[in-house]
Amino acid sequence: MVDVPHRFGSNAVNPMRILISGATGLVGAALTQRLAADGHDAFPLQRGVPGDGMITWDPASGRIDGEKMNGFDAVVHLAGENIAGGRWTEAKRNRIRDSRVEGTRLLASTLATLSTPPKVFVSASAIGYYGNRPGATLNEEDAGGHGFLADICGQWEEAVQPAIEASIRTALMRFGVILSRRGGALKKMLPPFRMGLGGVIGSGKQVWSWIDIDDAVGALLHTLSQSSLTGPVNTVAPEPVTNHAFTKALGRVVRRPTLFPMPAFVARVVMGPMVDELLLAHQHVQPSRLLASGYRFQYPEIEASLRHAVGP
């Protein structure tokens, strides 16, 4: 189980006030639910017209309710265009970039100007930072790779600099593939696998670094609680698997054969160039900083995580 102090290392009598962007997304919704269950006050940073009781922003126009952001204990930034939601047209690439880079810069710059800034700012990133790295075992000390996602992640992480310069403790969660039946890659995979149409993608030898949704939330809470955690934090399980091993494990969980491979060239035709960076890339990433800081994974092994995610 995850050892997370109720008040993240402070006085448990008073709940924390935490502002969350992307609060309705896969991780944001699960985090909000967990915070509420633990007695904390979670507030969404919402897109839309300012109103009573709402804290709103519009990254595209640079508008944000800065005055209402004073006094939060922590800010968790998870908002961003869905990377896997549609082909990477030029317009889609621009939305992916701007939603992450400009949105993060606006939020970090605003936090830096507050009279009562948060004690900690946790911003999402992704293991796409490392690019396609066959044969390498990667930790937070390794340099970024090459490619569209690697370039985006590098700019995304640089955009938190105003918060760092304002002496706000800032951590960057480099998420791997998040396993949940409620969204993300697994939700898209389940229908064909349940029909017995699942199979390896490409060679099946590419290494996937993944994390259970409960551990994604647990790692966020742990990072909020640990003052030693700053900079990049690889948010992945300690046992990455090949696509072949993932495929066989999911087949066992749904009790269906996995006999229909998708060759790389077919995947590129069906999904476009994003497949090379999302499904065919080799990314053997280790959660070195989480482990060194004492985080204990609930689901370190792929089949147990898939059984938890898929359910009975």
Confidence (pTM)? 0.93
For residue 53, the model assigns a pLDDT of 75
| pLDDT of amino acid 230 | 98
pLDDT tens-place values along the chain, 312 residues long: 333 333 454 434 578 999 999 999 999 999 999 999 999 999 999 987 776 678 999 998 999 999 999 999 999 999 999 887 778 899 999 999 999 999 999 999 999 999 999 999 999 999 999 999 999 999 999 999 999 999 999 999 999 999 999 999 999 999 999 999 999 889 989 999 999 999 999 999 999 999 999 999 999 999 999 999 999 999 999 999 999 999 999 999 999 999 999 998 888 887 787 888 889 999 999 999 999 999 999 999 999 999 999 987
- Specify the residue for token string 């898209």: 188
Cα–Cα distance, 116 to 114 (Å, whole number): 5
Between β-strands 63-64 and 55-58, what pairing exists: parallel, antiparallel or unpaired?
A: antiparallel
Bridge partners (DSSP) of residue 46 are 56
Burial of 5 (0-12, 13-18, 19+ CB in 10 A): middle
Instruction: Provide the pLDDT for residue 6.
Output: 37
Angle at 153 between CA 110 and CA 231, to 5 degrees: 65
Looking at CATH, the fold of the domain delimited by 17-178+211-237+285-298 is given as: Rossmann fold (3.40.50)
Euclidean distance between CA atoms 78 and 25, whole angstroms: 8
Q: Where are the domains of the chain?
A: 17-178+211-237+285-298
CA–CA distance, 137 with 263 (Å, rounded to integer)? 25
Q: Which two tokens stand for residue 164?
A: 């760092």
Q: Are strands 207-208 and 241-242 parallel, antiparallel or unpaired?
A: antiparallel
| pLDDT at site 2 | 37
For residue 74, the one-letter residue type is A
Contact 59, 100 (CB under 8 A): no
